[in-house]
Every structure is written in structure tokens, then in C-alpha cells.
Amino acid sequence: MGAALCCCSDPVDLDGEVDLYHFDLLRAVGKGAFGKVRVVEHKKTKKLYALKYIDKAKCIKQKAVANIVQERRLLEEIDHPFVVNLRYAFQDDENCFFVLDLMLGGDLRFHLDRLVRIPEDVVRFWTAELSSALSYLHRQRIVHRDIKPDNVLLDSMGHVHVTDFNVAIHYSERRLHTSVAGSMAYMAPEVIGHKGYTWSVDWWSLGVVAWELLFHKRPFDGRTADKMKHSIMKDALRFPSKANEFCSAVGQDALRGFLDRNPKTRLGCRGKSRDIADIREHPWFASIDWDALEQKDAQPPFVPDISKANFDVSHELDEFLMVEKPLTHSKRKANPDLEKMKPELRQLEEQFTVYDFTKNRRMSYYPHNQPITSAGHEDDAEPVLVNQSATNTVQPTATIVERSRPGTPFEEHDPSGRETPYPMPAVTLSERQPSQ
């Protein structure tokens, strides 16, 4: 039996059920809607991880319990080289904890903001690795719905990893989804237009990301929600005047393929069984050794400088200046009475279950959170909810989710963890988990 001493006098059973006492808390590296992300070290294995912790009270106030449970369940299903994978999950009286692969290379938004130009071969490599991740998720019946530079993290070697499954869902084989979720600037036309959508929306978002990385601007934009929506739905795809200096003809052809408004002819979507094969065969990816790439044996053309902080260092100041209550190890109340708990706290207690990747087999919760929604355009649908900035311009990279509309078959507090829309605060866009 492994034992180690921590801040309390009681020994910690490192072979028992995982909890916060199994980890040493290191620096804070990210901040999100309900909590923070910090680096932790597992006391027994000495491995470093990212600890994402969710404040239960804030989570309940934002009506986000079902989404947190759903994210927890979806992450248990996933294990892929280009995903930020879940390693442990547990809770105490105040927080729910996700222990994830640590990514030390920063997110793509961080690098996009700091690099004058990202070479085409780098963007092609990242796009290929992201294609592998998306293809895997779609085979698991998962649609991410929020692919954007903020949600792609680099490890120390320069490989990309998809993160933040807060609005991801199991897609239905039988019916299309109609709820609006994701970040508006990266949403496919069929999402914004309430036309019904499935996994093909992730390939559109990937196209927007690749375009933005290459040209430092997005293909469709607007200073207001209505103008951005119109641009995504109607505007012709126009390459920048100097596009040929930054991207080859075959690269531009791939971008046109991803940004095809018809999901049936979109690159990666042509035929149900095509998916990644459609992308592998595109001339832009002719130089990619896909077998080596998917084994992580391919050498990334961009390696982040991990001697520097690849994230906003101000997150640590919040606790140092006591702006926020610091995270501490705390013992759980013994034998909580579930019957006397508020319904939301009880739901977290019962459904945010303990996970330990060294002891538990990954399992699928499908179809428990499979939403059943009606397909087709609804003329009386509510307008898209968009977080507005102080100047009343759109925050195009903030994650948004539409509330349930009358007539949709699920309630806002669905205990099954199904697709349960809730309004996301603008700070969601900075929920950055660190990288390996």
C-alpha cells in the first residue's frame, strides 16, 4: 500500500480511490467559466497532468450541470493521440475535477496571436492531425461542435490535440440536430440556419480554422451577429489578394472543399464511409505519411518553445492577490444524505462518477445522451444567442449554446445528461487547458 503525507496529518492511500490528495497542486495555467486549470503532479507516479476544476455552485447557477455530466461521460469514451484525454475524474464538496493530458505547447489562438505568419506546411500538418482526431470522434458517434483555435492545444513536441468537449454531443443516425451550439465565427451554415445538422459541421469548422491560421483572418466575418450570420450563409468565398503568397493552389482547393455550404459535397463528408479517406486522397495532403502521422511518428514542422510560458501567466496572480479563493485539499463530508440535497447537487453526486484510467475500462454511454430533435427549418425559431461585448460587437470566438425552444423534447434539467442547452458566459472562450 502506497502512502504519502500531505498537508494534513492523516496518511494518503495512493492505491485507494482517486481524489485531490493524490496530487500536488502546481501552477495555474488557465481560467474558464466555472473554475481554473492548473498543472498537478501525481504523487505516486510523478506524472504531470492538467487539472480542470469546476465550481459546483457556479455550475448550478449557470444551469450547466447536465453539460458537465455529459462532458464527463463523453471524455470517458475517448482515447486518441490527438485528443486531450481524460485520465481521472472525481469530486469533493465544492468542485468537480477533470485530470487531463498535460499540454505545454499552448493553444493555437495563442500562437496565432503571436506569430506574424504560420507557414502552409505547418497548417497542413495540423489540419491532417486534426482530421485524424475528428474522424475518430465521428466513429465514436461524437460531434465536437466547437472546433476553433482556442480548443486546439499543442504538446511539447508540436502535435495538436482537440480539447473542450463542453458542447459536444452524440449525434443521432436517425434525425438531425437543430440546436445552435459552438462559436459563431466557426459555425457551419446549417447550424446557424436551423436547417438540421450532424457530424459534417466539424469539417466546416476545421476549414475556418485552417483559413484563419493561413491568412490571419476568417473567411466570413461581421461586426454584429446578424452581419456575421449573413456572411456565413450568403457571402461568396473570397481569398485574400495575396493568398497565393501564403497558400498553394491545392491548399486553396482544400479550403474550398471544407467550406462547401452543401454538407453532402463538403470535403470529408462525401459519402458516409468516406470521411478521412476523402481527405487523405486530396492533393494538398499528398506529402503526408498518414500511417506515421497517426502513430505520432511524423515530425511536426513547428515545435513550441516550452522554455517560455505558452499561456497567459496572469492566471496565477488571481490566487496570489487573493482575488479568488485558492484551490486547497479538503476532506469530503462523511456519508452525505442524497435525499436532502438540492436536485442539481444530487445529480452531480450520482452522475459525475469517479474515473481512474489505470483501473477503469473506457466505456460508452451511447445512446443515453442521444438527443432526439426534429429536423428541418423552423420559421418561428428563437434568434441565435450571442455574447455581446461592451461595444456591442460580436465576440466571435465565445462558445454559445441556444436555449431549448418550445416543442423540443428535452428539458433544461434533463437528468440523463442529454443535450441540454444553456447560455454560456463570455469567459468560456478563455477556458484553456494546458498542453503536454
Q: Which residues sit in the known binding site for ATP?
A: 52
Euclidean distance between CA atoms 20 and 51, whole angstroms: 10
- 71 alpha-carbon distance from chain centroid: 9
User: What is 388-412 written as a DSSP string?
Assistant: B-TTS-B-TTSEEEPPPPTT-S--T
Residues annotated as part of the active site: 146
CB 76 within 8 A of CB 355: yes
Question: What is the chain's length?
Answer: 436
d(CA 208, CA 211): 5
Separation between Cα atoms, residue 127 and residue 132, nearest integer Å: 9
Phi (first) and psi of residue 231, to 5 degrees: -60, -45
Provide DSSP, 62-89: TT-HHHHHHHHHHHHH---TTB--EEEE
C-alpha 161/C-alpha 86 separation (Å) is: 12
List Cβ neighbours of 245 (8 Å cut-off, separation of 6 or more): none
Give 85's strand partners.
none
Return d(Cα 83, Cα 137) in angstroms, integer. 9
Give the H or E element holding residue 39: strand 36-42
The binding site consists of 52
Start-to-end CA span in the chain (Å): 29
